[in-house]
Amino acid sequence: MTQVKNVIKDNYNMMLLNDFLREKIKESGFHKVEISKTPTGTKITLHVTRPGIVIGRKGVGIKELTEKIATDFELKNPQISVEEIPCAELSPSVMCSRMAAHIERGTAFRRATMWTIKQIMDAGAMGVQITISGKLRGDRSAFEKHTHGILPRAGNYAKNIVSEDVIHTKTPMGLIGINIKIAMKENVIPEFELKTQPKSKVETDDKKSEGESTIKTEKEEIVKTETEQIKIEEEKMKTPERWKNFYSEYCNYRS
């Protein structure tokens, strides 16, 4: 019985630590935390989009974070290391935080959902599903589920490919919950092949020119924090030409 209690206690502390880090280092784009206990202490690995914000100038930020974790969560000799994730758009926790920030800043929930789906699919995901629930339009609670691409739903295959995260955000209407599931192409077993439709040369040339222009704009816009990233995305949402084609493709996909 003591072993069961220890497992429950460790899982509960892990949940509290995850919530604490999500709020504490949200400007760095928190993805996940990994904890491994060693004879010399506790090794904590933070996966974020911007490691420099966590480390701070001359390591001041990571020292304060180490002291805070050691006192509040009673971890023995915590040793924190920071790793950068390759693509923030393929992280469910990062995209949940960004979508929640858009809704808190007054963006319509459906527009924020469509924009998040576009960002994830453009990053190279195999499929995505976003479920948003709560007081969306009135006093009654409701939910909406939007899916795009290929997303396994059950079995060990779905467990290995799909990653998900949940976040809750407060709005003037009430509490809203956001659940994002992302299927990765990199985790597909080599025995399976994804069938794609052949594309014409004209379409490929147009996409190459569009890709070069987007790369130039991304290089020009150097973002330091998640707040700046959210402000830039809000400006892009106001120009419907950027994602009008995607919305029509999504409607055709749903029909």
Q: What does the DSSP 8-state code read for residue 185?
A: S
Together in a domain, 137 and 187 = yes
The confidence score (pLDDT) of residue 215 equals: 42
Spatial contact of 29 and 21, defined as CB atoms under 8 Å apart: no
How far apart, in whole angstroms, are the C-alpha atoms of residue 124 and residue 59? Answer: 34
The residue segments making up the domain with residue 234 are 88-208+217-254
Together in a domain, 159 and 204 = yes
Average pLDDT, the chain: 80
The confidence score (pLDDT) of residue 202 equals: 43
Together in a domain, 110 and 182 = yes
How far apart, in whole angstroms, are the C-alpha atoms of residue 211 and residue 241? Answer: 15
Together in a domain, 54 and 116 = no
Query: Pairing relation of β-strands 78-84 and 41-48?
Result: parallel
Spatial contact of 157 and 197, defined as CB atoms under 8 Å apart: no
The confidence score (pLDDT) of residue 250 equals: 58
The DSSP H or E segment spanning 3 is: helix 2-24
Mean pLDDT across 223-227: 75
Together in a domain, 172 and 155 = yes
pLDDT over 90, % of the chain: 15
How far apart, in whole angstroms, are the C-alpha atoms of residue 94 and residue 115? Answer: 14
Together in a domain, 60 and 160 = no
Together in a domain, 77 and 200 = no
Task: Identify which has the larger pLDDT, 82 or 207.
Answer: 82
Helix, strand, or coil (residue 156): helix
Last residue of a domain, one of 41, 56, 84: 84
Together in a domain, 11 and 104 = no
Together in a domain, 51 and 129 = no
Confidence of residue 204 (pLDDT cuts 50, 70, 90): very low
Tokens of 89: 């758009």
Instruction: Check which CATH number belongs to the domain holding 73 and give it.
Output: 3.30.300.20
Task: Count the domains in the chain.
Answer: 2
Together in a domain, 79 and 160 = no
Q: What is the pLDDT of residues 75-97, one digit of tens each?
A: 888 888 899 888 888 899 999 99
Together in a domain, 141 and 248 = yes
Instruction: Check which CATH number belongs to the domain holding 198 and give it.
Output: 3.30.1140.32
How far apart, in whole angstroms, are the C-alpha atoms of residue 149 and residue 129? Answer: 9
Q: What is the pLDDT of residues 125-172, one digit of tens each?
A: 889 999 999 988 877 888 899 999 888 888 877 888 899 999 998 888
